[in-house]
Amino acid sequence: MQVSTSIGGSVKPASSEKRPVFPVGHLLPFVLVTVLFFLWGMSNNLTDILVQQFRKSFELSQFSAQLVQTANFFGYFCMAIPAALLMRRWGYKAGMVTGLVIFGIGMVLFWPAAVSGKYAPFLIALFTVGSGASILETAANPFIAQFGDPVTSEQRLNFSQSFNPPGTITGVLIGTYFIFSGIEPNAAQIAAMKQAGTYQAYLHTEIMRVVPTYLSFGAVVLLCALILSRTKFPAIQIEHEGAGEDHGSFGELLGQPLIWIAVAANFCNVGAQISSWSSLIPYMKQYTVVSERTAAHYLTATLIALALGRFISTPLMRYVRPSLMLGAYGVINAALMLVAVLRPGLMGAWAVVVSGFFLSIMFPTIFALGLKGLGRNTKIGGSLLVMAIVGGAIFPPVAGLIARHTGSLALGYVVPMAGFVGVAAYGFFQFTQRTLFSGPAY
């Protein structure tokens, strides 16, 4: 996809080795948007902490607790297309500011939800957070991909996405020490608390622990919305901002099967990622003797592996085609999920940790490959790829159902294993398609 931008004049042909990854002369908006990747990373992995916290606080089954992920990621599904329509009219910046405002409001809603002491208001708040994040991602991902030389779009998006893992790590650490209380009464202690009439007060205290974290986070997000609204963004010509026409249509995308295959791959990718992560703490609680906080440290290690994978793998894309790397990483992760199924316990947990490294490039690479060649349909195509994040709403409850009916959280890991098989198939398919039919392989 050859896209000229107005950020530095027309793009002149050059060898791929010399083409710039970053938008020369416009680093401020690039940096500000990259910060957003950090923010929604914090939010998405705080939900992994909430699964365990609400499971305990509301005495939920594994299936019911996984509705945390369903509420959050269903917001992505519902708001991606409205986000694309918004950006067709007002551009990427308007989309990002709107997303941040809704995102922040969702965070603030955790306060009345906690005061109510009921589970449903939390799910509404999480849906609001997911809706805001959906608009944010629908704007930020294609903006970064197009904000510079089209040949280096995968490298640029992988770079910005590299700041997502530090955000996820920060989110899990905050949840570990500010949401988890470290108090885990055993059955005898619970019985004694019930007899003394103090158990419900304990559960309510556990629920209220989420409020300071989410109110503080919401304030930061709303401040970022204010800063971004006052920052001047250069126009990207493919946006046709202000033209009022020639924005493409969903009908045109029906004749482009590669975008729909990318959507299916992203559905599998996000579903596999979220179900493997959100099951890790309960998995370790079932098969090991570790505490909640220790199990959360394993989740943190998974995210560190993800960050390392991004920073190590992104430079390698100058030498290894991203589609081929994607396929190989998908195969490796499917094998690691099989280890989690067959060897429950610390070995299985470490397999999930290691899988983080190979998860690293999946989302940004699928996203960038899916947008190639869409031209004026880029915004709409980006919204479809964000809608595919609904996989994160579907895979975890399916894994939870398997765990509920079999009594084995380990068997639930067949769900992310199937997702990674789908990612591997897409990577190898793209490698073949780009090589045989589209000239240079991406």
* CA dist., res. 57 & res. 206, Å (int): 6
For the chain, how many structural domains are there in total? 1
**How far apart, in Å, do the first and last CA atoms of the chain sit?**
11
What is the b/e burial string over 202-232, where b = at least 16 CB atoms within 10 angstroms of the residue's CB? bbeebbebbbebbeebbeebbebbeebeeee
Range of the domain at 293: 27-236+248-437
Residues whose CB falls within 8 Å of the CB of residue 202, separated by 6 or more in sequence, listed in order:
183, 185, 193
At residue 237, the pLDDT reads 52
Q: Does residue 187 fall inside a structural domain? A: yes
Q: What is the pTM of this model?
A: 0.76
In a domain, 22, yes or no: no
Mean pLDDT by runs of 10 across the 442 residues of the chain is 35 50 72 89 86 89 89 87 82 91 96 94 95 88 77 76 83 90 88 92 92 95 93 65 52 81 95 94 93 92 89 86 94 98 96 96 89 78 85 92 91 97 95 59 42
For residue 21, being part of any structural domain is answered with no
236: left (phi over 0), alpha (psi -120 to 50) or beta: beta
Q: How far apart are CA 78 and CA 32, in angstroms?
A: 26
Residue 162, domain member (yes or no): yes
Quick check: is 170 in a domain? Answer: yes
86 found inside a domain: yes
Query: What would you measure as the largest C-alpha separation in the chain, in angstroms?
Result: 77
Q: What is the pLDDT of residue 248?
A: 60
**Which two structure tokens, joined as six digits, stand for 200?**
């419900």
| Domain CATH for 104 | 1.20.1250.20
- Distance in angstroms (rounded) separating the CA atoms of residues 345 and 131: 36
Whether 329 maps to a domain, the answer reads yes
At residue 142, the pLDDT reads 80
Q: Give whole-number Cα distances, 340 to 93, 161, 164, 250, in Å.
A: 42, 27, 25, 40
pLDDT of 120 reads: 95
